[in-house]
Amino acid sequence: MRVVLGALWMMTTVCLAAPAPLRFSVSDSWAMPMLQLDHGRPTQGIMYDLMSSLATQVGRPAQFQVLARARIAAAMAHGDIDVRCYVAPSWVDNLSGDYAWSVPLMVQRNMLVSTDNRPVQVLKLTPQSIGTVLSYRYAVLDPLFASGQLTRDDARSEEQVLHKLVAGRYTYAASNEWIVDRFNQHLPVRHRLHKVAVIEEQELGCIVRNDPNVPTQQILRTLLRMKMSGEIDDIIKLYTGEEAVPLRTPAKN
């Protein structure tokens, strides 16, 4: 009996001593170099390295919850995740609850991509379908979709969008520049995709739940330190081979 009680006491002590995991959302639409999913689990990529390093520096184990893009906001509202990274304020509507935003951590450049190498003007495209990711917002394209000038052809992930473009399902697709570059590495030179227009550049960061069980301010300070030290830019360079796009400097009054 004493042995059993002793074992239970040790298990309870270990459980009480172990820090709670830091729960990150992972969108199932991400593709390399942003993130690689193997059997439903993230294993590498810019966001994987960033979130893993953040958790380590905060002193919490990282827990990744893979969700459909459309379900992430609700999961955060319900308290199922603590930190959502790779997000812009314009992507989030009517946040219910108390949240804090990190400093901008990186710039995403969305491109219009085609199998044809001729540059185009996005606003002058003729009526047609454009390859897009389900639930993604595109600030420049969305008004054109709303007016009927262009039509969305949604796929589950960025990689699926590009595969459909190669297969000839449409003439143009919208995609993250880094993902296009990585995708092209697996194509013969003559079949590689061309970036024919810049759609938009967006500064992305992380959003953190303000909750007594979440070290919110420590997370925000750590992210700031990771950005200022160059760690995040080094992670981006590791996977893309390129220097990170500089963040915009606020205009002086």
Q: What is the pLDDT of residue 208?
A: 97
Q: Taking the model in full, what pTM does it have?
A: 0.87
Going by pLDDT thresholds of 50, 70 and 90, the confidence category of residue 15 is very low
d(CA 187, CA 180): 11
Span between the terminal Cα atoms of the chain, in Å: 74
Q: Is residue 71 over pLDDT 50?
A: yes
d(CA 148, CA 115): 24
Predicted confidence (pLDDT) per residue in 209-236, tens digit: 999 999 999 999 999 999 999 999 999 9
Query: Closest Cα to residue 60, out of 248, 194, 215?
Result: 215
Q: Which two tokens stand for residue 216?
A: 């919110």
Identity of the residue numbered 203: E
H or E element in which residue 236 lies: helix 231-240
Sign of the CA dihedral with 107 first, then 111, 117, and 123 last: negative
d(CA 68, CA 28): 5
86 phi/psi in degrees, rounded to 5: 60, 60
CA atoms within 13 A on the CB side of 113: 29
Does residue 53 contact residue 12 with C-beta atoms inside 8 Å? no
Neighbouring-strand partners of residue 172: 114, 130
Percent of the chain with pLDDT strictly greater than 70 = 89
Q: Is residue 251 over pLDDT 90?
A: no
Q: Which two tokens stand for residue 239?
A: 């996977």
> Higher pLDDT residue, 73 or 4?
73
CB neighbourhood size of 78 (10 A): 10
Predicted confidence (pLDDT) per residue in 96-115, tens digit: 678 999 999 999 999 999 99
Q: Which two tokens stand for residue 121?
A: 């003007």
DSSP 167: T
d(CA 226, CA 53): 9
Predicted confidence (pLDDT) per residue in 109-154, tens digit: 999 999 999 999 999 999 999 999 999 999 999 999 999 999 999 9
**Contacting residues for 26 by C-beta, under 8 A, at least 6 apart:** 35, 37, 42, 47, 64, 65, 66, 67
Q: Which domains are present in the chain?
A: 21-106+203-240 (3.40.190.10), 108-201 (3.40.190.10)
Give the helix ranges, DSSP H, for 59-111: 69-77
Identity of the residue numbered 120: V
d(CA 194, CA 115): 6
